Chains A and B, each alone.
Chain A
Amino acid sequence: MEIRKSTGEKLFDTMNIILLSLLSLAAIIPLLHVVAGSFSSANAIIHSRVTLWPVEPTLDHYKLVTQTKAFWEAGWLTIRVVVLGTLLNMVLTIIGSYPLSKPYLRGRRPILLFIVFTMIFHAPMIPMYLVVKEFGMLNTIWALIVPTAISAFNMMLCITFFRGLPEEMFDAAKVDGMNDYRIVWSIVTPLSKPILVTLLLFYAVGHWNNYFTPLLYINDRDMQTLQVYLYNLISLGSNNDMASAAAAESSNMLPQALEMATIVLATLPIVVLYPFLQKHFVKGATLGSVKE
């Protein structure tokens, strides 16, 4: 522990790099294994010859998964939920954050308190369920979109960002005859791209990965989202639809291989977008955190 770089420090640096590399491997190996398995032959999987590289490469599993009607139905429902849900999230978050970012807005403090309160006190599951039920939204796509229309936390991030925009600019816009609606649409939105892109991604990934909401509000077997479909597929061993398709196709199909292919397809959008989105995610996540 001297001032110059001692052997102890060098040892620490080396160990640190080794440890971090091992952690990274632990994070990525399960994914590589599933990708490898999805491209390997059923025979190779049964005999445990697949680790991180495809053995006897084949596209059979993908062919079978993409021929499954239930997979496409679940995928289509999920895409609709992501698009409609995120759109609603964004519109409400923006129009809610803009007025609340104005320091001069009368009644701003009570309204902010009103919103922050809901971040601390959550209603239990059942009263929430009963409200959704009263609206007749059970077993409809609306149950997956409307109850989660705003995230108070995301709205706080957005308010903080909007507050940083120069008020002089809005005054000038008003002098030029713009009303507040126009200002939000043609000034605030384009100038707030960093935060809006982040929120868009948070909301969209949230919808794509949501398992809880459909579990709660949907019991119609024909209305599965991708995550529910995936979970049922894995937990029940095999989906009827898929099993019959598999039986018809050939006898050497393995449920595991089909599950692997389904997992890969359900993760694909996120993994493909991930490298492009990472910088935004990180920026957005830090925006609302510690600032010194």
Chain B
Amino acid sequence: MQSKSLQMLSKEEKKKQPGARRVSGDVSFLSFVKKNHALYVMLIPVIFYFIVFKYVPLLGSVIAFKNYNIFQGFLGSEWVGFKWFELMFNNPMYIDLFKNTMIISFYQIVFAFPAPIILACLLNEVRLMAFKRGVQTVLYLPHFLSWALVYGLAYMMFSTQTGMVNNLFKEIGEPVINFLQSTELFRTVVVGTGIWKEMGWSTIIFLAALSGINPSLYEAAKIDGAGRWKQFIYVTLPGLMPAITILLLLKIGNVLDVGFEQIYIFLNPVTLSVGEVLDTYSYRLGILNGEFSLTTAIGLFKSVIGFILLVSANQLSKRTTGESLY
């Protein structure tokens, strides 16, 4: 195959303007489509997929303003205006859900977000390449384990009867801690396991940004008398800023998405009061109890908040640092 394509390449070199006949603007749209119909045929199933599984559900969100009825469907059900949103805001329980979601998200931004950045900087300072690669290999691995598995591992480590950590506590005479069934520790466990699973993998994007920094900047800094700390402050950190800003903006836009799978898996009746978030509640109420319209209202509310936050954070960032998503 390789030789065949090389052969094609050499043949091509004889031509003067490759692709020119199709780039020219004077062909009408219809004759372009006719000529390249294969390209459009290939796109048909793809576009069909996006319409059916992305846009139809998006438009289906109108049921948040309707009294959804299975027999009448998306379109047939009667309009009820903001009834579900009013119901949501008038119920004090939603304040708790909202609070839980925001607190976990806040912890994620404060603790889980900087972790890979710090780790990437530390890895970047390692001079022993073999050691660096070894650490990377080990730290990437948890990313590929499912949340169900991580829950299993957490259970094996933290169970009060046979968990390894609690056994250690018993041995050194410390009281046993029920990590997985404690209202005080639930958020710590969720954010901690999140860091454990994703910290290594998330360094990849920052390591890529670090490798993109021009080495001559470091040399110039050295000549100016900067030590490694000063080099870090004046070269490395500014070099990372675009990547950090963009990822932070995205995280802020998704502030109400705190990871359904993970939280759902770690939740239990004891930790429900601190751990139930908008997503897990939507699942319980919507899928298990059939409250379709109310839960869609919750989902829509989440998207709107996320959108507003994203736009304002982007604006703020554009004004202060000059970095922005769009």
Residues of A participating in the B interface, judged by any CB pair closer than 8 Å = 1-3, 6, 9, 12-13, 16-17, 19-21, 23-24, 26-28, 30-31, 33-34, 37, 45-46, 48, 50-51, 92, 95-96, 98-100, 102-106, 111, 114-115, 118, 121-131, 146-147, 149-150, 152, 166-169, 171-173, 175-176, 179-181, 184, 186-187, 190-191, 205, 208-212, 215-216, 227-228, 230-231, 234-235, 256, 259-260, 263, 266-267, 270-271, 274-275, 278, 281-282, 285-286, 289-292
Q: A20-B135, A31-B153 are in contact. Are A171 and B18 (CB under 8 A)?
A: yes
Number of B residues near A (Cβ < 8 Å) is: 111
Contact A149 B53, beta carbon cutoff 8 Å = yes
Taking a contact as CB atoms under 8 Å apart, the answer to whether B15 and A126 are in contact is: no
Query: Which of B225-272 touch A at CB < 8 Å?
Result: 225, 227-230, 242-243, 260-261, 264-265, 268
Complex-state Cα separation, A12 to B229, whole angstroms: 10
Asked whether B152 lies within 8 Å of A274 as measured between CB atoms, the reply is no
Residues of B within 8 Å of A175, CB to CB, are 11
Check A167 against B42 for contact (C-beta < 8 Å).
no
Q: Which residue in A103, A124, A281 is a CB contact (below 8 Å) of B303?
A: A124
| CA of A228 to CA of B141, assembled, Å | 21
Q: Is the CB of A270 within 8 A of B261?
A: no
Residue numbers in A under 8 Å from B222 (CB-CB): 3
Give CA–CA (A261, B289) in the complex, Å: 35
B residues neighboring A (CB under 8 Å) = 1-2, 5, 8-9, 11-13, 15, 18-19, 22-23, 29, 32-33, 36, 38-40, 42-43, 45-47, 49-50, 52-61, 63-64, 74, 119, 122-123, 125-128, 131, 134-135, 137-142, 144-149, 151-157, 159, 162, 164, 167, 170, 196, 199-201, 204-205, 208-209, 212-213, 222, 225, 227-230, 242-243, 260-261, 264-265, 268, 279, 282-283, 286-287, 292, 295-296, 298-300, 302-303, 307
A20-B135, A124-B300 known; A230+B149 contact, CB < 8 A = yes
Contacts of A6 on B, CB cut-off 8 Å? Answer: 227
B283 touches A125 (CB 8 A): yes
The interface residues of chain B lying within 8 Å CB-to-CB of A20 are 122-123, 126, 131, 135
When the two chains form their complex, are residues B50 and A118 in contact, meaning their CB atoms are under 8 A apart?
A: yes
| Cβ-defined contact, A131 with B287, below 8 A | no
A181 touches B55 (CB 8 A): no
A24→B154 CA distance, assembly (Å): 17
Contact B1 A104 (CB under 8 A): no
The answer on a CB contact under 8 Å between B167 and A150 is no
Chain B residue with Cβ nearest A191: B5
CB contact between B144 and one of A212, A266, A270, A290 (< 8 Å): that residue: A270
Residues in A neighbouring B142, C-beta threshold 8 A: 27
Bound-state CA distance A71–B125 (Å) is 46
Which residue of chain A lies nearest to B228 when distances are taken between CB atoms in the complex? A9
Asked if A17 and B126 make an inter-chain contact with CB atoms under 8 angstroms apart, the answer reads: yes
B139 touches A95 (CB 8 A): no
Interface pair A267/B157, CB less than 8 Å apart: no
Contact between B58 and A121 (Cβ–Cβ < 8 Å)?
yes
A128→B53 contact, CB < 8 A: yes
Q: Which residues of A contact B23 (CB under 8 A)?
A: 103-104
- CB atoms of B38 and A180 under 8 A apart: yes
User: In the assembled complex, which residues on chain A have CB atoms less than 8 Å from the CB atom of B11?
Assistant: 172, 175
Decide: A106 and B29 in contact? CB cutoff 8 A: yes
Given A104-B22, A234-B148, 13 further pairs, Cβ under 8 A: A20-B131, A24-B135, A33-B164, A45-B162, A124-B296, A124-B299, A128-B57, A131-B52, A167-B19, A173-B8, A191-B5, A216-B287, A228-B148
Q: Which residues of chain A are near B127, meaning CB under 8 Å?
A: 13
Which residues of chain B come closer than 8 Å to A281, judged between CB atoms?
140
Shortest A23–chain B CB gap in Å is 7
Which residues of chain B have C-beta atoms less than 8 A from A208's C-beta?
146
Would B296 and A126 count as touching, CB distance under 8 A?
yes
- Contact A169 B40, beta carbon cutoff 8 Å: no
By a CB distance below 8 angstroms, the chain A residues around B307 are: 121
On whether A114 and B46 interact (CB within 8 A), knowing A3-B222, A123-B61, the answer reads no
Pairwise interchain contact B42-A1, C-beta atoms closer than 8 A: no
- Structural contact, A37 and B140, CB atoms closer than 8 A: no
- Most B CB atoms within 10 A — which of A215, A278, A289? A289
CB-based contact A30/B57 at 8 Å: no
CA distance A215 to B63 in the complex (A): 22
User: Which of chain B's residues have a CB closer than 8 A to the CB of A124?
Assistant: 57, 61, 64, 282, 295-296, 298-300, 302-303
Expressed in whole angstroms, the Cα–Cα distance for A147 and B15 within the complex equals 45
Cross-chain contact A127 with B61 (CB below 8 angstroms): yes
Q: Decide if A123 touches B50 in the complex (CB within 8 Å).
A: no
Closest chain A residue to B206, Cβ basis? A290
Question: Once the chains bind, are B196 and A26 in contact (CB under 8 Å)?
Answer: yes
Nearest 7 Cβ contacts at the A-B interface:
A124-B299, A127-B60, A1-B227, A123-B57, A292-B212, A209-B146, A96-B46
**Residue among A103, A121, A259, A270 making CB contact with B145, cutoff 8 Å:** A270
Q: Do A16 and B126 form a contact, CB below 8 Å, given A179-B38, A289-B204?
A: yes
**Minimum C-beta distance from A268 to chain B (A):** 11
CA of A284 to CA of B157, assembled, Å: 33
Contact present for B145 and A267 (CB under 8 Å): yes
CB contact between A289 and one of B22, B63, B146, B208 (< 8 Å): that residue: B208
A231 and B148 form a contact (CB under 8 A): yes
Closest to A103 in B: B23
What residues of A have a CB within 8 angstroms of the CB of B154 in the complex? 30
Report whether B138 and A24 are in contact in the complex, using a CB–CB cutoff of 8 Å.
yes
With a CB–CB cut-off of 8 A, which chain A residues contact B12?
A: 168-169, 171-172
